[in-house]
Structures are given as structure tokens and as C-alpha cells.
Chain A
Amino acid sequence: MDLNPSPEDLAFRNRVRRWLEANVPEDDLKTLDARKAWHRRLYEAGYVGMLWPPEYGGWAATPMQQAIVQDEMARVGAPPPINGLGIGFIGPTIIVHGTDWQKQRYLKKMLTAEEIWCQLYSEPNAGSDLASLKTRAEDQGDHFLVNGQKIWTSSGPIADWGILLARTDAKAPKHKGISCVLLHMRQPGVEVRPLKQITGSSLFSEVFMTNARAEKRDLIGGLNQGWEIAQTTLGYERGAGSLGRVTRYAIAFTQLVRAAKELTRGGQRLVDDPVVRAKMGKIYAELEVQRYAALRALSALQKGESPGPASSITKLSYTEFEKRYYELALEILGPWGQLITAHEEFEEVDTSSGEPGTWATAFLWSRAGTIYSGSSEIQKNIIGERVLGLPKEVRADRLKA
């Protein structure tokens, strides 16, 4: 057990730090073109697609190097790359399950953000119970005719392509009749409606498909194998963002300390109030434990150990922590924590979405983490069944199957 970074990792971190100092844009990236241009520079520097194999345009870096890049970017508040879902999850799915033609056609443009990708999985009536999805893809010989509705689609309005789960066999048991196919978003049968969230912004959208067309050559894996494909790749690349995430928490904590020194109540600074101090101590202790756990997970990833279902522990841990964090922060700050516009520097804080905001927006965003990518309840089911080996629950749909 030795948690000192290796000389190579230290040197790499210094290189990344110097590159970011020289290259991070000074102004906010206001347009999609500006964000794509920044993404392209990150890619060319070797900081996007780091874990992808070189034959598909990746850099074959180590998980630790990838975590270092994200950590250094968080440290200086660098704008993130775009196409995160494509690069983190859809691309690797195509690498594992796709055809050579699909790999040639899609992967490089995904990496360089020439084409933006979204995920078309959840439906209004298929959330945690994703396998009950209703969107249909009917076989029309050379293509599928797609009808249905998807929801919670990140990057929907800017996406060129989507990875779609749709029902291709209505008679089969629900897990057995689903296929995975790539859908071109820029066609008349696809309509994207932004969803306004409780934060006031619109990072998600609804997607309506009315006689939309998906090509047969864009089927991933075999017909009706969509569920297995979705299951095997959901955990890919977890852990890469862990250090950067903790660094963002730590930056927010220094803002909280500043706020607690600026604000007074009853004639004393908040930071001198023992009740406030107890809460701050609780946040900081938990934040540090998140950092230790991130190092532990990274150390396993470095050795090529697949986290498998144990990555559910990580996801459950940091998303639940984030809720406690911002709840305690808002308790400490009182009405000050509810501002939606920052006037003083100590009122600004990055949110888990990557959007800058106030303590109020960070608090609101913290409610998303325990719902998306498998809710906390789903993670606990996975941990219970697949890590602890507890018996499966009796479920109506399993009895029928």
C-alpha cells in the first residue's frame, strides 16, 4: 500500500497543468462552435478519448492519467469537453459490440465532436424498469420504422445521433424483445422538446419519434440483444471523473468557508458558531472520505481490475454525499443559500452538472444524481444482489417471464 503518485504520474500532472495554463480559454464558451473548438483542442492534446484504443483515434492512456486530466481541469475551472455520453459510453459500446463499418463511420467523428451523440433509453413509463420500454422499431427490410417517446435525453437539441433501445419483438418476454440501434436525429420523424428542470435550465429533453427511420446497418449486436448490450456497458469508465469531482467539492468547500467568514449572525461570524462548525466538519470529513475512496477505486482500475457491480457503491456513495453536502451548506447559509443570482464571489459555486451557479442551484442539482444513471434504489438492489449475494426479490415481471 503506497498512495504516493508515481514519478510518471507526477510528471504527467505537471504537463497537464502547464498545458491548461497556456490553453484554457479566458472567456466563457458561449456558442456550440466555440465549445466544439475547445473540445477539439483538448482532443488533439490527448485529453479526450484517453482510454480509447489508438486504432479508433484514442490515446491508450491509463485510468490514473485520465483522472489526473479531469482533476486538473476541475482545479482551474476549465470548460469540460462535450459529447461526454458519446465518448464515455456510446463509443465504447460500439467498440465492443459494433461492426467494422459502424466503427469506421462513427467513432472518430464522435471523438472529435464533429457529431454529437445522445442516449435514447428512458421513457415516460420506463424509468428504473427500463426493460418495460414501449418505443417500437418495426422491421421494414432495409430499415426500422421507429415510433415512440423518450425522455431525460441530455444534449438532445444539439445531438446528431442517438443510441436507441426499442422493442423489436412485442411477443417475447420483456427483456428478450429489445434491440439497440443508432438513430439519426436530424430527420423529420424526430422531434426534440427541451425539458425545463427545477434548476430553471434545460439540459434534458423529450424526444418524439414518429415514423422515424433507423438503418439496418446501424443495428448494434444482434436483433433482440439490446438488453444484454445495455447491461454490459453501463459501467464503462466509471471512476475516471472521481478525482475531478472531489476537487470540485473541495473548491465549493473553500467557498463555503469564505461565506461562513463573510456572513454574520447575532454579531458573530458564522464560522465561529459551534453548530456551524460541527456541520462544516461533517461535510469536510465526508468529502475527504470521498477522495480516499476515489483513490482506492482508481488504484484497482489501474491494475486492470474491473469494478463491476462495486461501481454501484461508488455511485451511491458520492451522489448521496452530494445531497447531504448541499443540504448542510444551505442550513449553514440560511436564506443566503437560496440566492439564485450571485453578487459576491463567495456566492458562486460550480454545480454537479458543470454549470456554474449559486448554492441554491448546486443544492437543486444534487437532487439529480441519485435519480439518473440508475437511482439510488436501483444501485442498492444491484449491491444487494450482485455484491452481497442476497436473494433476488420476487417480482411480478419475473414470475411471468
Chain B
Amino acid sequence: MDFAFSPDQQLLKNSARAFLDEHMKPAAVRLLWEDPRGESETTWKEMAQHGWLGLSLPEAYGGSALGMIETAILLEEMGRAAAPGPYFPTVLAGRAIEEAGSDAQKKRWLSAIATGDARATVAFLDADLDWRPDATQTRADKTAKGWALTGTKRFVPWAHVADVLLVPARTREGLTLFLVDPSAARLTLEPTPVMDLATRLASVRLDTVPVAGDAVLGSPGQAGPLLASLLRRAALGAAAEMLGAARRCLDMAVAYAKVREQFGQPIGSFQAIRHKCAEMLLEVENSHAAVYYAAWALDAKADDGELAPSVAKAYVGDAARKVCGEAIQVHGGIGFTWEYDLHLYVKRAKALEAMYGDAEYHRELIVRRVAA
């Protein structure tokens, strides 16, 4: 039993930290905030060269076949840097294609994802904001050439740069997952700006959008379990990013409390501040345990592999909210300014709190398992 990272995992963490420290300094993140596209093509390609885009994809498609632990390590570092970009949605979509796709679909998309030539995303959420796959209302009707999709998907991450959208829709057979070309006819994207300017979301309106017959991922009516499994990974990935953002906020708060003086003393010498920082560390360390336990449980297919991601999302969501909020408080007025970098990380964590099921949603999933 070993909870520490292996030497390879530590190496991955260190190189991600070094890369992001260099390429995703707060100033670089701020430039991307202002950028219409919101991401850097150069950085994306360099991440591909590092092997990060294919990290968890099969080697046959240029991937490294690593697991959720390694993915969480990268995501934690990205959260720590508040790095903008479609990394996580692309990884999620790649996972779905790998799990359920035909050979042709895998050939078309997985290598392109690994080389950085394709971006992808998953449109989980319908208009009524229910994360349960069963609640999907978007409809797919059989046509002569394939299918026609109708409905509205909300808060779809990085849809505006995606080369393919994974869209769950209801067919006569049941819940079905479609690969949809964002440039298809009668598909409109409308950006939904949110307070984290590094998180780009869009509404996707589908008005009888034509989709080819071979664009179904897996078999019609069989997407339920795949979507549930994807959502678990999504929840865990969000928890890993929130962990990184929260640790950054804690580090900034502690560093500030050591140098900021009031009443002739560094404010960190006052128990009112020191005790807050101690509580923040407690939450961050517990979050670390929650994220990496769940990542291991998924990789190892442990008995609680389906429960642990919900535990992580519920716990880390609450923890990050507290840690990031208290970091502003410890900083005082400077922490409330646009100029100071703290809000980059506060907003990143806040954006993820609500995604892929919030804490209340995952607590209900937990209770269904343990109090059935």
C-alpha cells in the first residue's frame, strides 16, 4: 500500500509544474482572458509534444495508455495555473471515443487528439440543467440518411474551438451518444460568458441538425452507462483542478500573511489569520487524499470506484469554496482587486464547483449507493 506518487508520476508532476510556470504565468493567462479564442495554439501543440494530450489514450493511437492518476496530476497543475484551454473536455471526449467508438471513429479522432490536431468536448447538459444522463431531452429522429438532432445543450465547455461535439440525445432505442460536427447545418453556437474568463462555455442549439448514420458512438440506446462513467471521470477531473486552484490560493495567502504587517506584526502571527491558514491547509490536504484516492479507485477498478469520484467532487467542491474564499479574506483589500492575481484561481475553482454535478448532486449519488 503506497499513497505517494511513483517516481514517474512525480516526474510528470514536476515537468507539468515547470511547463506551466513558464508558459502560463498569470500575465499569459490574462492575455488569453482577452483573446476571442481563449487558448494558445502554440501551448496546445507543445502539450501534445509532451505527450499530455494522448496521456490516457491507447499506444496504438499515439497515446501513453496512462491512467486517471496521471490525468489528475496534470489537471491539478492546470488548476494551479488556471491555465485556459480545452484540455479536459478533449481528454473526456477521447475517453468516450476510446471506450465506445468503432475502429473507424477511433482512427479518425484518437490520433488527431494525441497529436494536438483535434479538440473535442462533451455536451452533457440540456436546457433544464439536470446532470443525470436520464434527464436528457435533446431528441434524435431517424432520417433517410441518418439522424436529425433537435434540442439545446447548455454550458458546453470549449465548444467554439472543438472539432467534434459529443452530444447525448434521446432516440426510439433510448439514450444515444452522437459525434456531431460543430459546423453542421442548423447548429448554432452562442457563447455564454461566465466570471472565470478562462472557462469558455457555449449554448449549442440543434434545430434538426443532420448527422450521418455512422456518427453514433456505440449502439443506439446504450449510452447511459457510458455517460455515467464519463461523468464520474469529469467530476473527478474537476475535483483535481479545484484542488490545484485551492492549493495556489492557500500558498498565496500564506506567503502574504508572512510579509503583510499590521499593528507592527506580520498578520500571520495573529491567531485570527494563522488559524484560518491552518484550516485551509487541512482542507487542501484532505482534498488531495480525496482526489488521488478516487483516481486510484477508478484505475484499479476498486469496489468503490464508482463511489469515490462523487466523494471527491462533493468534498473538494466544498473545500475549494472555503479555501479560495478565505484566501481573499486573508489578503484583505488587495485580494479584491482585478490587478492582483488571486482571482484567477478563485474563479477557476468556482467555475468547476457547478460543473459535472455540484456537491449536493454528488451527495445524493452517494446516498443512493450507501442507503439504498
**Interface of A toward B, CB cutoff 8 Å:** 1-6, 9, 64, 253, 257, 260-261, 271, 274, 277-278, 280-282, 284-286, 288-289, 292-293, 295-296, 298-300, 302-303, 313, 316-317, 377, 379-381, 383-385, 387-394
Known: A3-B296, A299-B1, A317-B286. A286 touches B315 (CB 8 A): yes
Binary A-proximity of B331-367 (CB < 8 A = 1, otherwise 0): 0000000000000000000000000000010111011
Check if B371 sits within 8 Å of A260, measured CB to CB.
Answer: yes
Chain B residues packing against A (C-beta within 8 Å)? 1-6, 9, 69, 254, 257-258, 265-266, 268-271, 273-275, 277-279, 281-282, 285-286, 288-290, 292-293, 296-297, 300, 302, 304, 307-308, 310-311, 314-315, 360, 362-364, 366-367, 370-371
Can you name 21 A-B pairs with beta carbons within 8 Å?
A64-B1, A253-B370, A281-B366, A282-B363, A284-B370, A285-B310, A288-B290, A292-B286, A296-B289, A300-B4, A379-B278, A380-B279, A383-B281, A385-B274, A388-B254, A388-B274, A388-B278, A390-B258, A390-B274, A391-B266, A393-B269
Let me know if B274 and A384 touch, CB within 8 A: yes
Tell me which of B277, B286, B315, B366 contacts A388 (CB under 8 A).
Answer: B277
How far, in whole Å, are A105 and B54 apart by their CA atoms in the complex? Answer: 65
| Chain A residues whose CB sits within 8 angstroms of the CB of B3 once the complex forms | 1, 3, 295-296, 298-300
Residues from chain A with a CB closer than 8 A to the CB of B278 are: 316, 379-381, 383-384, 387-388
CA distance A224 to B342 in the complex (A): 48
* Given A281-B364, A284-B311, A292-B293, 16 extra CB contacts under 8 A: A3-B1, A280-B367, A280-B371, A284-B366, A284-B370, A285-B314, A285-B363, A288-B304, A289-B290, A299-B1, A299-B2, A303-B4, A379-B278, A383-B278, A384-B275, A385-B274
Which residues of A have CB within 8 Å of B360?
Answer: 278, 281
Task: Name the distance in Å between B343's Cβ and chain A's nearest Cβ.
Answer: 22
Q: Enumerate chain A residues within 8 angstroms of B296, measured Cβ to Cβ.
A: 1-3
CB <8 Å contact, B265 and A277: no
A258, closest chain B residue (CB): B371
Contact B1 A295 (CB under 8 A): yes
Chain B residues contacting A317 (CB-CB under 8 Å) are 282, 285-286
Contact between A313 and B271, CB atoms less than 8 A apart: no
* Chain B residue at smallest Cβ distance from A395: B269
On chain B, the residues within 8 Å of A282 by CB distance are 314, 363
Known: A260-B371, A289-B289, A383-B278. A6 touches B269 (CB 8 A): no
**Which chain A residues lie closer than 8 Å to B289 at the CB level?**
289, 292-293, 295-296
Query: Which residue from A1, A377, A384, A390 sits with its C-beta under 8 Å from B2?
Result: A1
A391 B370 Cβ-Cβ under 8 A: no
Q: Give the complex CA separation of A385 and B290 in angstroms.
A: 25
Known: A277-B363, A316-B282. A288 touches B308 (CB 8 A): yes
User: When A1-B6, A316-B282 are in contact, do A277 and B258 touch as well, CB less than 8 Å?
Assistant: no
CB atoms of A302 and B265 under 8 A apart: no
For the complex of A and B, the 6 pairs showing the least CB-CB separation, nearest first, are: A281-B363, A384-B274, A390-B268, A299-B3, A292-B293, A383-B278
Report the separation of the CA atoms of residues A299 and B293 in the bound assembly, to the nearest whole angstrom: 12
Residues of A within 8 A of B285 (CB): 293, 313, 317
